[in-house]
Structure 1
Amino acid sequence: MDIAAHNTVFIPGATSGIGLALALALHKEGNTVVIGGRRADRLAAIEAEHPGIGTVVVDTTDPAGIEAAAQEVRTRYPQLNVVIAMAGIMRIEDWRRPEAFLASAEAVITTNVLGPIRLIAAFVEHLQKQPDATLVTVSSGLAFTPFAATPSYNASKAAVHMLSESLRIQLADTSVSVVEIVPPAVRTALLPDQDTSEHAMPLDEYVAEVMELLRSDPTAKEIQVERVKFLRHAEARGDYDEIVAAINAADSHGT
């Protein structure tokens, strides 16, 4: 399925960063795009600045809020056939002391793992009723090669990867395909100073490459820009230990 154009797309967690940039790029290609976020004022500002973008208030950490937002989206946009589970947070954690990491770890897992699971639960039946639909997950290069400062984030994205692999098998006999976007470090506000980090890929370059990959290979299972492949395939190449040492020696992040 070509998810780059001619679809109705819902992207929660898209009021900034990769989510918003991807929403705008998909809208430019002629898709009907609906974005979700917690702040009604921010959503209103985006809707005013970008006419044609739909918005819905949703907190992906709130099960009842997800179901309410899903009902609204399904009602307003019955042709919805693409859901991109974009919401995520990243925290620096010190696991040598429980008081330094437990609350953070719980928040990361709630947002990054339970959030996508609840979103999928809210939309999977609807998507199966469409003649051609796609469920898009967002993992990370750090699902495959860890950044030591963010254990919960790494684990959450590894979970998203394996969830994506499993759902692709379960949904193989339905109209729903599963595509996993695997970002590298991108210049967003995911971590402090990441939006200016020389180790992170410029946001506009990242989204442009993602869109080109979506257009060029509508059957792709994973969307991997060139800059994430050194993380994604480290174990297969046989240089996993060297890459782990390199990314943890440098003052860098990966998403």
Structure 2
Amino acid sequence: MLNRLTCFMKKHITTIYVTSIILLVIITFQNINIITPLAATSSITATSYPTSLNELSLNGSLIKLVIVSSGSIFKPTITASDFVLNNAPIGLGISIVTLSPSDNNEAYLQLSYNGTVFNNVITNFTVTALPSSNPKAENLTSNNLTISPAIPLEGYLNYYANGLSYPTSVAISGYNIKNNKLYLNIGLITTKAVSITQNVTFYYYIDIFNENGISIGNSGSYSSPNSITGVPSKNIAALINKQLTLNSALTAAYRITVIITSVSIN
């Protein structure tokens, strides 16, 4: 800023310019917005498809999540990183997340599972929707779901039944106590499609256990199964009077296991 001071002296005018320096200190305050998760006023429910989660069906299973609160929704940009699986077996993850096209408070999580074996029933499996999943920034954890391990085949802890093919009936048709020969009638079925020009072949083995769980006879094995070809164009086969020679007498209490290891359709 320039202030002009003028002095009049006899016929001589002297003009003196005085510069005033004003130091202006400007302090600005920056507003910092800190977003913290809100205390949850909503809740979330989880439903599995299939309804019974099993080690053998985990890969590809769906979890339906529904936010239960008026006005609470999922963001349209949700991804797998917006959710956490709690108490999940090793190897279980989320492969795809889909928002319901009709209800934006519903989301579907498709599970992926690498097959890592676990042996205990999990009764407290839950899903957490992180604050990044919804506009209210709420941290929402679902109800408990149960995940069951695959049931090991008796006597073979590393082998598991997949349920696609199985025996429909097992009945003793005869037993010769003199030579310990046991005769069985067994029905087999597969849920796989068999066309009118195809035949199904079942690969199977049979084990007989006494009351103490000790094997007393078998026919075939997991590594070397028996085989039988079914009825043409049908998904069934029947073993009639299948003979097994026991290595000890049949006890009053016993168990018969029939295991289908695989099927081929040609």
TM-score with structure 2 length normalisation?
0.23
Instruction: Give the structure with the higher percent strand.
Output: 2
**Structure 1 or 2: larger helix share?**
1
